[in-house]
Amino acid sequence: MDDNQDHFNVLRKINSKPGSTQRELAEELGFSLGKMNYCLKALKNKGLIKMKNFERNPNKINYIYILTPRGIAAKTKLTINFMKRKMEEYDELQAELKKKNWKIWIIIKFNKKELEFLKKDFRKKLKEDLTMYIPKVVVQKYKNNKLINKEFNLLNDYLFCFHKDFENPETIGKLKFSRGLKYFLDGFARTQNEIKKFIKICKDLENKDGYLSQNIFDLDINAKYKFSSGPFSEMIFKIIDLKKNKIKILLSNLSATIEKKKFLFSPL
């Protein structure tokens, strides 16, 4: 992020919360104190903010910051430029989507108990060409000395959905009160390539029953994982060596080599 964007964020935060301290501003914006100090010093040198010490203490942490008239004017100008830039980015994205005739994927957070209501409501409102996708795994667990299978959504209470009209904000608007819907995840229009890539990886790893048959997690030597299937289900192990199709592991005090495709496991 460039200085102008950082300065705009700081000015906007001071305007919305006048009298904030350096530490409060840093926490609100997710800046380190060093970065916050750098930004505040630059804005002060430009005459956009002024400081007041509320504890008569030379420590700058105890200063509060307020906008000067010049700072208010600068914030207004930066706000206009920011909005113009965002609108230009949106127009460029829409033009690219139309040019490529993409169908838009969206990410939905849903109520697990009302998923069927959500599917029914979406199909009723969108009618045709609707696809919902939830990557799933079957995890094996021991219960009463028996190994049982239990289905889990890989993304817990999120799902992917696409339709040809999702690029139209009005389409999203008429869905937002659907039963079982919590919210749409922001930023889906800008991350279409990443979403499509993730879905392709998941689908490529599905077995004939539609469950992920291989692990999608990155594997690291000396990292710990837990088996989710097979005779070692729920047991913890450490990877001590990685090969193309096999993994050498340390399980308790025993070392063994397993095939990647035959077991599901997750990082701790």
* Whether the predicted pLDDT of 97 surpasses 70: no
CA distance 94 to 246: 45
- Residues 121-126: contacts with CB under 8 Å, at least 24 apart: 121/175, 121/178, 121/179, 121/180, 121/181, 122/161, 122/175, 122/178, 125/174, 125/175, 125/178, 126/163, 126/165, 126/171, 126/175
Q: Are 111 and 157 in contact (CB under 8 A)?
A: yes
pLDDT band for position 1 (50/70/90)? very low
pLDDT band for position 121 (50/70/90)? very high
β-bridge partners, 54? none
pLDDT at position 90, please?
64
Q: What predicted TM-score, i.e. pTM, was given to this entire model?
A: 0.50
pLDDT at position 15, please?
82
pLDDT at position 191, please?
80
Q: Count of CB atoms within 10 A of residue 182's CB?
A: 13
Tell me phi and psi for residue 201, to 5 degrees: -60, -45
CA distance 184 to 166: 11
* Whether the predicted pLDDT of 70 surpasses 70: yes
* Whether the predicted pLDDT of 125 surpasses 80: yes
- Name the least confident of 31-45, 88-102, 116-130, 140-154: 88-102
pLDDT at position 133, please?
92
pLDDT at position 236, please?
86
% of the chain beyond a pLDDT of 90: 10
* Whether the predicted pLDDT of 77 surpasses 50: yes
Mean pLDDT across 126-134: 85
State the pairing for strand pair 236-242/224-227: antiparallel
User: 28-58 pLDDT, tens per residue?
Assistant: 888 888 888 888 888 888 888 887 765 554 5
- Residues 174-177: contacts with CB under 8 Å, at least 24 apart: 174/125, 175/121, 175/122, 175/125, 175/126
Distances 4 to 33, 40, 43, 69, 85 between C-alpha atoms, Å: 18, 12, 10, 18, 13
- In terms of average pLDDT, the best of 116-125, 161-170, 216-225, 250-259 is 116-125
* Whether the predicted pLDDT of 2 surpasses 70: no
- Name the least confident of 136-150, 166-180, 243-257: 136-150
Helix (H, G, I), strand (E, B) or coil at 163: strand
pLDDT at position 110, please?
93
Helix (H, G, I), strand (E, B) or coil at 190: helix
Q: Are 110 and 181 in contact (CB under 8 A)?
A: yes
CA distance 259 to 13: 53
CA distance 72 to 66: 10
pLDDT at position 12, please?
83
Q: Which residue has the higher pLDDT, 76 or 218?
A: 76
3-state SS of 91-153 is HHHHHHHHHHCCCEEEEEEECHHHHHHHHHHHHHHHCCCCEEECCEEEEEEEECCEEEEEEEE
